[in-house]
Every structure is written in C-alpha cells, then in structure tokens.
Amino acid sequence: MKKIIPALTTAICIMLVFSSCKKQAEPNVEELALSKVNGTHGHLHQTNTFSSEVAFKWMDMQLRLFRTNATPIGGLPPQRYYAYTAIALYESVVPGMPSYQSLSGQLTNMPGMPQTMPGYAYHWPAVANAAMAAMTRNFFPATSNANKAAIDSLENALNASYQSEVPGEEFQRSISFGKTVAEIVFDWSKTDGAANANAPYTPPVGAGLWAPTPPAFASAFGPYWGNNRLMVAGSLEGSDPQPPPSYSTDPSSEYYQMVKEVYDVSQTLTPEQIAMAVYYRDNPGFGGGHYLSMLKQILVQENRNLDFTAYAFVKASIAIIDAAIGCWKVKYQYNQERPIRYIREVLGHATWNSVFPTPNFPDFPSGHAAIAGAFGEVLKDLFGAQYSFSNHTYDYLGMAPRSFTSIDAMVGEISKSRVYAGIHYRISCDRGVQEGSKIGQNINNKLKFLKD
C-alpha cells in the first residue's frame, strides 16, 4: 500500500501538469474541425506551403507608385519605403516559419512584435496582404486617386480569393494580425530621422567642394540622410573608404588625372556604353526602386515560396538602406565636387555636359556603387556568386535588358555606368563598391534569421 500511494501521487501530478499546459494553448475545437474539412492544419499549415504571389503583386504595386509619383517621392529615397514594407511582410509571416525568428531585438530600436494565438490557424497570404496593403497606403497617402483605387482593388481581389480558402474567423484573425504588425512597423519607421534628411543646408564653399551643377543648379539632396538610424547597429564597421585625392589643378596630380579620365571617356563613348549609362539613370523610371525591381525578377525566376521571398526581400532591403546611409554620411563628410564643374572651369571645356544631368549631391563615393555593392553581397549569400539573370526593369521604356553571368558582373556594370554617364569619377565608384560590399558583409554576419 505504501508503494501505491507515491505512484498515485506522481500520476496525479503528471495529469495536473499536462492539464495546465493544455489550457495555456487550448485550440478552438470548432476551428480544428473546420480545418480538417477544408484541408488546413492550423499552425501546421506553414508559410512555406504558400506561393509568393501576394508579395510579388505588392512589389509590383510599389514599383508602379514609384514610377507614377514624383521621384524621389517626398524628397526621400524609395528604398526606405520598400525596406519597411519588407520588414512588415517578414514579421507578419515569420510566426508561420518555425525555424525563423523575429528581427525585433536585432534591428535598431525595433519594438516587440505581436504574437499569434497559440493553437489558432492563420492564413499567411491573407496576413501578408493586410500588412503590405497597410504599409503601401501609409507610405503613399498623397498618390493619385487612380493609384489609391488600384491599391484598394489589389487588396480586395486577393482577399476575395483568400476568403474562399479558409473559415471566416481564421480569415478575420489573419487580417487583424497583418494590420497590427504594419501599424507597429510604420510607427517605428517615423522615428528613423528621415523627416530631417532634407532640412535646410548651406554647403561649405571652397576649391574642389560640391556646388549646385547645371542645368538645374538644384540645392543639395539629402544632406542629413547619413544621420538616419541604421537598421543594424555596427553595419558600417570597417566600411569607411580611403579618402579621395586632394584637390589640385596641377596636370600631373592624381586629382587632375582623375577628372581628365571622365572627360576622355566621354569623348569616345560607344553606343553600348551610353546604353549602359542611361539604363541606370533610373529617372524617368523607378529611382532606387530599380533594386526592388531586380530583386523581384530574381525571386520570380527562383519560384520559391512565401517564406523564402519574405526572408530574401527583408535581408536585401535592410542592406540597401544601411549602405545608402553609410554612403551619404561619407558624401557630406568630403563634399567633393562633381566632374562637370572641374571639366568646365579647370579643364576649360565650357560647354561640356554629362550624358544626363548630374544628380544634386556630392560625388564621393558613388551612391549607386555603394548600394550595388551591399545588394550584391546579400545576393551572393542567398544565391551564390555565379548566379545568372537578366534585368528587364526598363523593358517598358523600350530599353534592351541587361544580362549577367555573375553577381559581381552586375555590380561592376552598375559602377562603371556612372563613369560612362560622366557624373562620377572612377575612384568614387570603385571605393563606393568597396564600402557597400563591406556593409553587405556586415549585414550577412550580424543579422540572425534562424533560431539557435
């Protein structure tokens, strides 16, 4: 009898513990019954069981908005809009990715994310649709009525499809979760410093320093963009480029030869080099959205499911944002003049022009080169260095696509295009790539997506 009592006590304790755990994650019995009828399995129906259609459609929508609004919209680079949208997408569907974790606690000052209800089913495309629709409306409040109608139409069309796939309670819960994630991410985005990026700025004056350039003589763009909050703390570690050559008008100096190369190249441009330069002008076009366009094309080519698309989209976008911040920080540190000023005033070619008007911010280092360098490092990490693809971003403008047999070939072409355009020195492009590549490597090393 004495032996039986401890055994009964132990059994009772086990039953109590099991009962307590069960109450903490009690599933909705009615929903579970419905899920069996409809072929779904609650949280077992994971993000990786769905296609990336919802993400691709919202990427296309944002590209449409970049193209049909003033570029850059509101005086801010498009990269900022799709980076936060990518974060909202990832955070909205990562609860359905058991091996992956939230970026809250890794991205600078990112708030905690809401939790899904244990034991309750979520339809991850519906969650993503709600999150990306909300982010798009938040970032484009002043777009045209036609664009607003297109946003509504896309969201409603996708929802109509999803409603036929899941029980009503699951659908509504999914919509609510996606909107909640978007609201938190958007509120966080408003504290990154971007509102001050174009505050009044008086550039320093002196030989070799940046000044407004013809034909528009526009004031400096984004002088305080480099002060924005980095997505990843420490992402700029080791990325500072070597300084550009010291200003000189001596024909034997490195500075003089650096500028003369731009002029010499401009006198022998081939049709292919001009086409390359114009392709990455990006205006008219998508501006910084060109990188979103390329990423979307690669992801479509890969034909991966929603989990991978959300992961790749957010990782690449974060690298692009931090590379731009790091680049702009250096630009306004050196305030180096653009080639057109020196070519006209020092080399004496008073009527010389670049292939297209020079952008209105300092030369060193090249923004396109830095962003391409960071973007390239993430792509290599995701797909391998020898990845091949064709860029059809500007088919709609009648431009021939650009094809690459490696990621470095893509980065190199984007960098060289700025020299062919006559808007950057080669050293600004080479060191821009180096800066961006280091930032991309830091992102790859510092961000942890998989759970330990």
Nearest-10 crossing angle of helices 53-68, 124-139: 10
Cα dihedral across residues 357, 361, 364, 365: positive or negative = negative
pLDDT of 44 reads 53
In single-letter form, the type of residue at position 206 comes to: G
Question: What proportion of the chain, given as a percentage, has pLDDT over 70?
Answer: 89
- Are the C-beta atoms of residues 343 and 424 closer than 8 Å to each other? no
Question: What proportion of the chain, given as a percentage, has pLDDT over 90?
Answer: 85
Among 24-28, 358-362, 423-427, the minimum mean pLDDT is found in 24-28
Rounded to an integer, the average pLDDT of 214-221 is 95
Rounded to an integer, the average pLDDT of 166-185 is 97
Q: Reply yes or no on whether the pLDDT at 39 is more than 80.
A: no
Helix (H) or strand (E) segment spanning residue 131? helix 124-139
Please write the tens of the pLDDT for every residue from 126-135.
999 999 999 9
pLDDT of 72 reads 57
pLDDT of 75 reads 65
Helix (H) or strand (E) segment spanning residue 369? helix 367-383
Q: Reply yes or no on whether the pLDDT at 246 is more than 90.
A: yes
Report residue 412 as tokens. Answer: 């190199």
Rounded to an integer, the average pLDDT of 154-163 is 98
Please write the tens of the pLDDT for every residue from 291-345.
999 999 999 999 999 999 999 999 999 999 999 999 999 999 999 999 999 999 9
Among 62-76, 218-232, 262-276, 418-432, the minimum mean pLDDT is found in 62-76
Helix (H) or strand (E) segment spanning residue 402? strand 402-404
CATH 1.10.10.10 fits domain 201-446: no
In single-letter form, the type of residue at position 383 comes to: F
pLDDT of 76 reads 75
Report DSSP state, residue 210: -
pLDDT of 286 reads 84
pLDDT-based confidence at residue 33 (cuts at 50, 70, 90): very low
User: Mean pLDDT for the chain?
Assistant: 91
Rounded to an integer, the average pLDDT of 244-260 is 98
Give the 3-state secondary structure of 264-332.
Answer: HHHCCCCHHHHHHHHHCCCCCCCHHHHHHHHHHHHHHHHCCCHHHHHHHHHHHHHHHHHHHHHHHHHHH
The reply to whether 42-192 and 201-446 are identical in fold is yes
User: 42-192: which CATH topology?
Assistant: Vanadium-containing Chloroperoxidase; domain 2 (1.10.606)
pTM above 0.85, yes or no: yes
pLDDT-based confidence at residue 69 (cuts at 50, 70, 90): confident
Rounded to an integer, the average pLDDT of 150-159 is 98
Report DSSP state, residue 253: S
- Are the C-beta atoms of residues 372 and 411 closer than 8 Å to each other? yes
Domain boundaries in the chain?
A: 42-192, 201-446
Q: CA–CA separation, 39 vs 96, rounded Å?
A: 17
pLDDT-based confidence at residue 40 (cuts at 50, 70, 90): very low
